[in-house]
Amino acid sequence: MIRSYRQLNTGKFAALDELEQKLDYPFLTREWELLGRGRNRNRYWKLTVVETFLPTIFFLLFFSFLVIALRMFYNQ
């Protein structure tokens, strides 16, 4: 799903870049400059980093709780 949205956004931004070249002010180019072109994590985090990091955290928490619950159940 992440790959699909990435492809969709790539197409949308390609179309927007073409449109932006016809405008007097380069909105998307300026936005990217203000965000440091994605090089500074304090200004911009790629969404795919967040989308892949959070499920991993939740999986580890769930697995930890499962192990604790099983240990408590079998130690009784």
8 Å CB contact between 66 and 74:
no
Q: Categorize the per-residue pLDDT at 64 as very low, low, confident or very high, splitting at 50, 70 and 90.
A: very high
8 Å CB contact between 3 and 18:
no
Report the helix count and the strand count for the chain, using DSSP H and E. Answer: 3, 0
8 Å CB contact between 20 and 27:
yes
Asked if the model's pLDDT at residue 11 lies above 90, the reply is yes
Q: Categorize the per-residue pLDDT at 33 as very low, low, confident or very high, splitting at 50, 70 and 90.
A: confident
At 45, phi and psi to the nearest 5? -115, 130
